[in-house]
Amino acid sequence: MRNYILSHTNIKNNCLWHNGKLISKSDETVNPISFLEEIYKSLNLSYPKFFKMDGLSKLGILCAELILKDENINQLFPKETTAIVLSNKNSSLQTDVAYSKTINDFPSPSLFVYTLSNIVTGEIAIKHKITGENAFFIEPKFNAELLHNYTELLLKENDAVLCGWLNINEKTCEGFLYFVAKQDANDEKKINFIEHNPANITNLYNN
Amino acid sequence: METKTPVSPLNKAFLHNSNIISPLGFATEKNFIAVCEGKIGMKDHVFNHVNYYASVIDTKLLDDTFSSQTKSNPNQFTRLEKMCILSVQDVVSHSTIDAKDKRTLFIFSTTKGNIDLLENNQSIISAERIYLHETAQVISKYFQFVNKPIVVSNACISGLLAIIIAKRLIEDDQYDNIIVTGADIVSTFTLSGFNSLSALSSKVCKPFDKNRTGINLGEAAASILISNQEKNNCVEVVSGCSANDANHISGPSRTGEGLYKCLQKVLPNNFIPNFINAHGTATEFNDEMESIAFNRAGLQNVFANSLKGYYGHTLGAAGVLESVFCAESLKQNKIIASAGFEEQGTSIKLNIITKTENKKSTTCLKTASGFGGCNAAVLYKLNNA
């Protein structure tokens, strides 16, 4: 058994890609939240809670959706031994700023609950009933080595890891999630498997 | 699915020296003595014209101590950075570790870092320091750590999760020594936020008590050196894991699902530890959830406490600070009273410690839970040669 990347999603420059295939694209003048809401509609997601979420959670929910709606991934891996390992630069800063503007007037509880980086982890976990390990790392830029290293450690005791980078501010958003799992190296399907190593992760991130 | 074959680690992880910077003192021993004497950090403070009970470090004492112990200008560092630098310095200066060694790592745990930079724009502090990795860099550069720091920000399990991550890296023989520092400050941001959720107590908090009405916030920086070297009378990080409730982003699972899952994993073969240092925030839902999870794991009769009645909830520092107390309790043969507790207040009766006294223990369970549905648990064991 070896660790392979089975699926990945990228959101960057107002484009959505799944496994290297362009799924949707918007004008670059469209702001990140509007673009994410366009994607939501185009995927026919019926999940009204989406509209209550902050930008970071919206970004994470959409990236995870494309990966986990695939039956080969959704049904083959036990949710209790699937970990979620995420990272970004901004933590929840966009929502922190929005919340801090409400402090002197009426502090908003619905904004405050999103002022933690790992709320998006919770949102993904709830939507897909994933109860495994969690970790959220803050890095100045995408760090394939760190994610690869920690994922490899987790896969010693767990079956799969949903992993990646979710970063958002007013002007841009960048999402890259990928799903790593143990696979039989002799499996016929392995032609579609991407070996889990930092170089491959970086390539997929750069799309 | 593949059958699990347990991989035996190359190394073990041990807790070495530590530090706590808090209103109860600027060293582990001072904090431990103060808590054993029943002192508490919470006082009535005014933030943004509102009164709160919170555990806050005296600003002048922090600046004076920083000036005298570091010879650096306190104005060049934020409140949080000063706390962290003092904390790491105490650990480094009492150890033989070399920050410049490739086998030494610094892990920083925080929820909100320099969040006060959003409120008061201190002119000489760069606005970039609002980014958590920038804060970690400032601390790391001060000590000239050669490796880039790892920053963990995972709500209220951040500190305990940072210890679990350090344990895994040491077991995999990637490092010899890892300093884990957890820190958060009390700010108008967090106070107003928890207040907006009606989660704050207007009095000193009462974990697990019938009359508990919510949390107090506290600030602290706590550091611990985790090493692959075993010493006499030193505490081993035996097992640790995290799990998600997959239930609610701002409230725990009613059945303690994620925490119970952690307990099953860190306590093999229904192992019963000598005592539990619980999360015990003193909110109605957290303490109730913990009692249910402990009961499901058969731990309802084990001595248990929460330290939130001394320090309030120190957020990203809590898991590290409370682990320092676990280690000291084991090494000094003490069990510590759960401050604020008078009357059973959970539907499952727990064995809450009501008196600090001498008692020999060799194992202790530390737990934490937080927003985003996250939970973590670690089993500590005293290794006495």
Structure confidence by residue, pLDDT tens digits, B264-301 = 999 988 899 999 999 999 999 999 999 999 999 999 99
SS3 string of chain B? CCCCCCCCCCCCCEEEEEEEEECCECCHHHHHHHHHCCCCCEEEEEECCEEEEEECCCHHHHHHHHHHHHCCCHHHCCHHHHHHHHHHHHHHHCCCCCCCCCCEEEEEECCCCCHHHHCCCCCCCCHHHHCHHHHHHHHHHHHCCCCCCEEECECECHHHHHHHHHHHHHHCCCCCEEEEEEEECCCHHHHHHHHHCCCECCCCCCCCECCCCCECEECEEEEEEEECCCCCCEEEEEEEEEEECCCCCCCCCCCCHHHHHHHHHHCHHHCCCCEEECCCCCCHHHHHHHHHHHHHCCCCCCEEECCHHHHCECHHHHHHHHHHHHHHHHHCCEECCCCCCCCECCCCCCEECCCCEECCCCEEEEEEEEHHHEEEEEEEEEECC
- Name which of B147, B174, B239, B374 to mutate to probe chain A: the one with the most chain A Cβ atoms within 10 A of its Cβ: B374
Select the residue of A81, A113, A146 nearest B250 (Cβ to Cβ). Answer: A113
Find the mean pLDDT for residues B59-69.
97
Question: A103 and B192: CB-CB below 8 Å?
Answer: yes
User: Does B266 lie in the same domain as B148?
Assistant: no
Q: What is the mean pLDDT of each run of 10 residues along chain A (207 residues)?
A: 94 96 92 95 95 98 96 89 98 98 96 98 98 98 98 97 97 96 79 91 96
Provide the CATH number for the domain around residue B256.
Answer: 3.40.47.10
**Substitution target from B249, B253, B371 for chain A, most A beta carbons within 10 A:** B249
> Smallest Cβ distance to B373: which of A100, A126, A133?
A126
CA-based nearest distance B39→chain A, Å: 31
Q: Which residue of B has its CA nearest to A130?
A: B246
- Residue whose entry in the numeric block shows the structure tokens 């901004």: A90
**A139 contacts in B (CB within 8 Å)?**
133, 151
Tell me: do B203 and B259 sit in the same domain.
no
B295-348: pLDDT as tens digits: 999 999 999 999 999 999 999 999 999 999 999 999 999 999 999 999 999 999
Interface touch B248/A150, C-beta < 8 Å = no
Residues B212 and B103 in one domain: yes
The 10s digit of each residue's pLDDT in B252-266 is 999 999 999 999 999
Q: What is the CATH number of the domain that holds A42?
A: 3.40.47.10
pLDDT digits (tens, 9 = 90+) for B73-107: 999 999 999 999 999 999 999 999 999 999 999 99
Q: Which of B105, B128, B167, B196 to mutate to test the interface with A (most CBs of A within 10 A)?
A: B196
**Do B101 and B186 fall within a single domain?**
yes
Same structural domain for residues B279 and B366?
yes
Asked if residue B245 and residue B150 are part of one domain, the reply reads no
Between A100, A112, A132, which is nearest B196 by CB?
Answer: A112
CA distance B310 to B24: 9
Do B156 and B286 share a structural domain?
no
Q: How many interface pairs between A and B have CB atoms less than 8 angstroms apart?
A: 156
In a domain, B245, yes or no: yes
pLDDT at A72: 85
Which domain does A79 fall in, by range?
A: 2-206
Listed by number, the residues of chain A in 116-155 with a beta carbon closer than 8 Å to a beta carbon of chain B are 116-123, 125-126, 128-140, 146, 149-150, 153
Picking from B118, B152, B246, the nearest residue to A126 by CB comes out as: B246
Chain A residues with CB-CB distance to B2 below 8 A: 1, 159, 182
Please answer yes or no on whether A136 and B154 come within 8 Å at the CB atom.
yes
Mutate to test the interface with A, among B5, B47, B114, B153 (most CBs of A within 10 A): B153
B186-231: pLDDT as tens digits: 999 999 999 999 999 999 999 999 999 999 999 999 999 999 999 9
Q: What is the DSSP letter of A129?
A: T
Pairing status of strand B14-21 against strand B220-227: antiparallel
pLDDT-derived band at B123, boundaries 50, 70, 90: low
Please count the structural domains in chain B.
Answer: 2
Q: Does B161 sit within 8 Å of A107, measured CB to CB?
A: no
Domain ranges, residue B330: 234-383
Please report, for residues A66, A95, B259, B299, the alpha-carbon distance to residue A59 in angstroms, rounded to integers and kept in the order given: 12, 13, 27, 40
| B chain contacts of residue A128, beta-carbon cutoff 8 Å | 246
Residue B1 pLDDT class (50, 70, 90 cuts): very low
Q: What is the least distance, in Å, from the CA of B319 to any CA of chain A?
A: 14
Burial B360-384 (b: 16+ CB within 10 A, else e): ebebbbbbbbbbbbbbbbbbbbbbe
Structural domain contains residue B129: yes
Closest CA to B90 of B161, B31, B2, B132: B31
Alpha-carbon gap: B191 to the closest alpha carbon of chain A (Å): 10
B8 within some domain: no
* Number of domains observed in the structure of chain A: 1
Write the residue in B155, B195, B196 that is nearest to A118 by C-beta: B155
Q: Do residue B267 and residue B179 come from a single domain?
A: no
Instruction: Give the domain-ending residue among B179, B208, B227.
Output: B227
Give residue-wise pLDDT tens across range B3-54: 445 566 779 999 999 999 999 999 999 999 999 999 999 999 999 899 999 9
pLDDT at site B3: 44
